[in-house]
Chain A
Amino acid sequence: MTAAVKLTLAWLALCLVTAASILLAGEPPAPGATQPASLGVAALGGAFAKAYLVMRFFMELGATPWPWRAAFAAWCVGLFVILSAMLLWPA
């Protein structure tokens, strides 16, 4: 598979995950009501999955030395965990 084909497939995957995230988020909650936290976490999950795709295929993170890969992975995973926790267990 050529590099251009991989990039194009990554772009398609990004578009599909975007569409799926929008469908999953559904309609806005009724005035005064709140969205279930799980839907918010799902939206964040979709966003960070897309972030991984951009890092892996567009930024070519795999071609960098391991400290860079570790740092970006820490940002991606760590931020997802922290933001999800803030949604699930707001202070």
Chain B
Amino acid sequence: MSQPASPPPPPPQRNAARKPRFPGEEGVWMFVLGDLAVFGLFFATYLAYRAADPAGYGAASASLSVTAGAFNTLMLLTSSWLVALAVLAARGGAAGRARRLLYAAIGFGLAFAAGKISEYAAKAGDGVGVETHEFFMFYFVFTGIHFVHVSVGLILLTILAQTLRKRRALEAGQVRTLESAGLYWHMVDLLWIVLFALFYLVR
């Protein structure tokens, strides 16, 4: 008696093994996109005003230290990189390593903040303020708002690093929270990248 033919195996699902896991909370992605949109308006507004006095804006921009701006950029890029590594470590269950990477990221973030305060102090010492020229009004307001974002991010990362200190094993929710905080911190980095180009390099 012949055996009944076995049913053919189901076709492999094309993306079953590659289905991406959404990093972080969707609400944070929404916030990040909104913040990027607002800053996009800021950038366009700055260039619109700059068009009326390119030489004046160029002269004012030339008074900024590209070295200081480059230092700040390097600090934030490195901090962002360390946060991304911390998220990787957390996903692998290495709470201790994630915590150490977060502390290192916070250190670089603080270096950025110190660099920025130093720049502001130098400008104040030179008698340069928001009323010196329209360029400086934009510079202090936009980098100031960005500085607030940096401060909030540093507080978030510090709180997360402290919670990791109390755990040996990470829960899925904690990893997701860290991903969300990382997402916010990368947005802060993104914004500075464009601010550095607009204020320090576009003269």
Contact = CB atoms under 8 A, between A and B. Distances in A.
Interface of A: 3-4, 7-8, 10-11, 14-15, 18-19, 21-22, 25, 28-29, 31-35, 39-40, 43-44, 46-48, 50-51, 54-55, 57-60, 62-65, 68, 71-72, 75, 79, 82-83, 86-87, 90-91
B201 A63 contact: no
B62 A29 contact: yes
Nearest to A84: B47
B77 A29 contact: no
Interface of B: 20-23, 29, 33, 36-37, 40, 43-44, 47-48, 50-51, 54-55, 58-59, 61-62, 66, 70, 73-74, 77-78, 80-81, 83-85, 88, 182-183, 186-187, 189-190, 193-194, 196-198, 200-203
Q: Which of A22, A43, A59 has the most CB of B within 10 A?
A: A59
Nearest to B47: A86
A75 B193 CA distance: 14
A68 B29 CA distance: 8
B190 A55 contact: yes
A21 B201 contact: yes
